[in-house]
Amino acid sequence: MPESMLEYMNRHLELEEESEKLCQLPADFYSKTASYARNLRRASNPSNSEITNRLIARQSTMIRGMVRRLATLRARKAVEQGSLSQLLPEERHVCSLEEGYEGRLEEFIGAVSTGQSSYIELAHRREMNRNVVLRFIKPVSELMGADLRRYGPFKPNDLASLPAANADILVANEEAVVVRSRG
């Protein structure tokens, strides 16, 4: 009997969990998994029986959990062993974000602990100058930006680039949603 997709995923997850070193993962592992998940999503519809839709939802939940466990485990091993090059390209993409965070965190800690206030001021200025593109979901009257520029008024579905400090408030008040963050 052929191996099901869940068995295939579980087999690779178990191999990774049992090994101290990073295991070889098929190059198409994540694309194959995504394709299966897409087919599952397409198979779920109101005309199915409740049990069928519940089984599909359960499989989707299992896939999500296994991918999370596998990717997290592999990333941790790769970082600890200095073997990022052995990860699949999509895994390296995810890890590069963490590496960027770790590098910035170390720079920040070093700057604070050695009294480099210029680094702190630069980080503060960069964050204050960062803009975020928002899509408004409620009407918002004209507002003064953190950069002392006027923005608005806005209607639902309007898009605008605003300073991050203002965007955070609008999102927290459920008046807008983030479309994209710009440096």
For 163, phi then psi, to 5°, come to -60, 145
pLDDT of residue 182: 52
Q: Is 97 inside a domain boundary?
A: no
Residue 159 banded pLDDT, cuts 50, 70, 90: very high
Question: In which element (H, E) is residue 133 found?
Answer: strand 131-136
Query: DSSP character for 138?
Result: S
pLDDT of residue 173: 93
Q: Is 115 inside a domain boundary?
A: no
User: How crowded is the C-beta side of 17, counted as CA atoms within 13 Å?
Assistant: 11
pLDDT digit string, tens, across residues 72-87: 999 989 888 888 889 9
- Strands laid side by side in the 159-163 sheet: 159-163, 131-136, 176-182
User: Which domain-ending residue is among 62, 83, 104?
Assistant: 83
User: Which domain-ending residue is among 49, 68, 83?
Assistant: 83
Q: Is 167 inside a domain boundary?
A: yes
pLDDT digit string, tens, across residues 27-67: 999 989 998 998 988 888 888 899 998 999 999 999 999 99
Q: Is 57 inside a domain boundary?
A: yes
Q: Is 15 inside a domain boundary?
A: yes
pLDDT of residue 175: 95
The average pLDDT across 92-113 equals: 76
User: Which domain-ending residue is among 49, 67, 83?
Assistant: 83
Q: Is 72 inside a domain boundary?
A: yes
Q: Is 46 inside a domain boundary?
A: yes
Helices of type H across the chain: 5-18, 29-43, 50-81, 89-113, 117-129, 164-172
Rounded to the nearest integer, the mean pLDDT of the chain is 88
pLDDT of residue 67: 94
Same domain, 137 and 78: no
Q: Which residue has the higher pLDDT, 5 or 96?
A: 5
Where does residue 72 fall: left (phi above 0), alpha (psi -120 to 50 degrees), or beta otherwise? alpha
Indicate the number of domains in the chain.
2
- Asked if pLDDT for residue 144 goes beyond 60, the answer is yes
Output the domain CATH number for residue 155.
Answer: 3.40.5.50
> For 12-26, 59-73, 91-105, which range has the lowest pLDDT when averaged over its residues?
91-105
> For 9-13, 85-89, 95-99, which range has the lowest pLDDT when averaged over its residues?
95-99
